[in-house]
Amino acid sequence: MFVSRTTVGWEALAPAKLNLYLDVLGRRADGFHELEMLMCPVRLFDQLRWTSNDRAEIHFTEGESTERFRFSVAGTDVPSDETNLAMKAAHLLAAEAGVEPYGSLSLTKRIPTQAGMGGGSSDAAATLQLLNQAWGVNYSKQRLTGLAAQLGSDVPFFFAGGPAVCRGRGEILQPQSGLPKLHFVVVKPDESISTKEAFMQLNAGQFDPQKSEGREKPLERLLELLRNGMLTAAAKAMSNSFQSVILASQPILASLQAQMTALNSWGATMTGSGSAFFGLCGTAQQARHLAGKLRAVLEDGSRAGAKHEFGEGHYLRGKTPRTHGTVWTTSTCY
Ligand SMILES: C[C@@](CO)(OP(=O)(O)O)[C@H](O)COP(=O)(O)OP(=O)(O)OC[C@H]1O[C@@H](n2ccc(N)nc2=O)[C@H](O)[C@@H]1O
Ligand SMILES: Nc1ncnc2c1ncn2[C@@H]1O[C@H](COP(=O)(O)OP(=O)(O)O)[C@@H](O)[C@H]1O
C-alpha cells in the first residue's frame, strides 16, 4: 500500500491481491483452515482519503458518523457503517492507541467485492497505516501487522509490501524477493462468492494428511519457475484448492474459465475463494492482446469501454451459458 500526504490530510492507495497458489491443508480446531499461499499485490487500487475536521472546519452530526469522525464510501455497494473493514480498522487503532477517532475518512472502491481479490482486507490495512500517520500514533509496521491479524486472516499480507508466502490462517508471512514483474488479465464475473461459504463447501476428504509428506513441494517449484522467468511453466504450476469445488457447483464460472483457457494457452486460475479468474501473460502487450480477444468473444457493446482510473474495465457477455463480468489488465506492484 502507498500512503502519502496531501495538502489537506493523508491519502492511501490500497492494492488488490491475486493468489498465484492456494492450498487448503486442513481444518483447525478453532474453525479456521490451515493455508499455504503465494499472494501478490496488483495495480488495481481502492483509495482512502483522510482530512482533519480542523482543517476542513466541519462538524459532523449525521448517519453513522460521530461528531468528530465521519466515514463515507463511493464506488460500490459495500457498507458505509461500522461493519466496513476500514471502520473496524479505525476503531481498533483508536482503542489500542487511546485516541478518540476524528477527521473525515472517505473510501473510493474500485476493487471488485467478493472476488478473492482482498479489497476489504487491503482497505483495512491501508486504514491502519493511514490513521497511524494522521492521528500521530506512530506504531511500528510490526505492531500494525499484529493489529491487522485481529481484523482478518488476509489483512497482515498487505503490510508485506510485495509478494509473500502466507501460512497459518494466512497471517504468517514470508516475503519473497527476486520475483519478476508479472502481467495479468483478470476477469470478475457478476457472480460473487462469500469466503465463508467457499470454505464450507470444502469437505474433509479434500484434506489429505499425507499430502505434505514427501510431496514434490509445488509451491517451491512455482517460486523457482517465477524467479527463473520460466513463465509458461509457472502459469501451469499455479493452483487453487477451491477451484474444482467452485467450478463443480457453478457451471457459469466453469464456462468462463473454459473461455479464458481457450483464448490463453497459459490457462486461467481462480484467485482466493473466487469468483475472479486471472491469466498470467508474458508482457503488458500480451495482456492487452488477450483482453482484446476476450472482448471480441464476450463483449457487450452497451457497456464496453467503461474506464477505471487504475485500469480499464470492460463488460463481458458470453454465449452459453451467458457470462457477465468485467475484465482488467493489471500487473504486480512491488
Ligand atoms: C480465502 C482467502 C485467501 O486469500 O481470501 P479471499 O478469497 O477472501 O480473498 C483468505 O484466506 C480469506 O481471508 P479473509 O477474507 O481475511 O478471511 P477472514 O475474514 O479471516 O475469515 C472469513 C471466513 O473465512 C473462513 N476462513 C478464513 C481464513 C482461514 N484461514 N480459514 C477459514 O476457515 C472462516 O470461516 C472465516 O469466518
Ligand atoms: N471496505 C470493504 N471493501 C469490500 N468489502 C467489504 C469492506 N468492508 C466490509 N466488506 C464486506 O466484506 C465482504 C467481502 O469483502 P471482499 O474484500 O470484497 O472479499 P474478497 O476478499 O473475497 O475479495 C463484502 O461482501 C462486504 O460486505
Please check if 326 is assigned to a binding site: no
Q: Rounded to the nearest whole angstrom, what is the distance from the C-alpha of residue 113 to the centroid of ligand 2?
A: 5
pLDDT band at residue 205 under the 50/70/90 scheme:
low
Residue nearest to atom 8 of ligand 2 (CA): 84
Residue 126 pLDDT > 70: yes
156 ligand 1 Cβ < 6 A: no
Using a 6 Å CB cutoff, which residues line ligand 2?
Answer: 78-79, 84-86, 113-121, 123, 195, 272-273
Burial class for 72, CB neighbours closer than 10 Å (0-12, 13-18, 19+): middle
CATH fold label, 2-175: Ribosomal Protein S5; domain 2 (3.30.230)
User: 32-36, 168-172, 210-214, 294-298 — which is least confidently predicted?
Assistant: 210-214
Q: Per-residue pLDDT averaged across 225-250, rounded?
A: 95
**Is the distance from CB of 46 to CB of 119 less than 8 angstroms?**
yes
Q: Which atom of ligand 1 is nearest to the CA of 39?
A: 4
Cis check: omega of the bond before 79, within 30 degrees of 0: no
pLDDT value of residue 203: 76
Please check if 79 is assigned to a binding site: no
pLDDT value of residue 191: 87
334 ligand 1 Cβ < 6 A: no
ipTM: 0.98
Please check if 118 is assigned to a binding site: yes
Pairing of strands 103-108, 69-74: parallel
**Is the distance from CB of 103 to CB of 69 less than 8 angstroms?**
yes
Level-2 CATH architecture, domain 183-331: 2-Layer Sandwich (3.30)
Residue to probe by mutation, ligand 2, list 1, 85, 196, 246, most atoms within 8 Å of CB = 85
User: 186-200, 236-250, 289-303, 305-319 — which is least confidently predicted?
Assistant: 305-319
Q: Rounded to the nearest whole angstrom, what is the distance from the C-alpha of residue 97 to the centroid of ligand 1?
A: 27
Q: Rounded to the nearest whole angstrom, what is the distance from the C-alpha of residue 159 to the centroid of ligand 2?
A: 18
Which of the ligands is closest to the CA of residue 18?
1
Residues 19, 24, 29, 31, CA torsion sign: positive
Backbone region of residue 79 per phi and psi (left: phi > 0; alpha: psi in -120 to 50; beta: other values): beta
- Alpha helices per DSSP H over 268-317: 284-298
Residue 70 pLDDT > 90: yes
Q: How far apart are CA 280 and CA 287, in angstroms?
A: 8
* Average pLDDT for the chain: 87
Q: Per-residue pLDDT averaged across 189-215, rounded?
A: 77
Please check if 120 is assigned to a binding site: yes
Q: Per-residue pLDDT averaged across 220-249, rounded?
A: 96
Contacts of 143 (CB under 8 A, 6+ apart): none
Q: Rounded to the nearest whole angstrom, what is the distance from the C-alpha of residue 103 to the centroid of ligand 2?
A: 23
Q: Rounded to the nearest whole angstrom, what is the distance from the C-alpha of residue 54 to the centroid of ligand 2?
A: 31
Q: Per-residue pLDDT averaged across 309-316, rounded?
A: 44
Q: Which atom of ligand 2 is nearest to the CA of 119?
A: 17
Please check if 113 is assigned to a binding site: yes
Domain extent listing, the chain: 2-175, 183-331
> Greater confidence, 66 or 98?
98
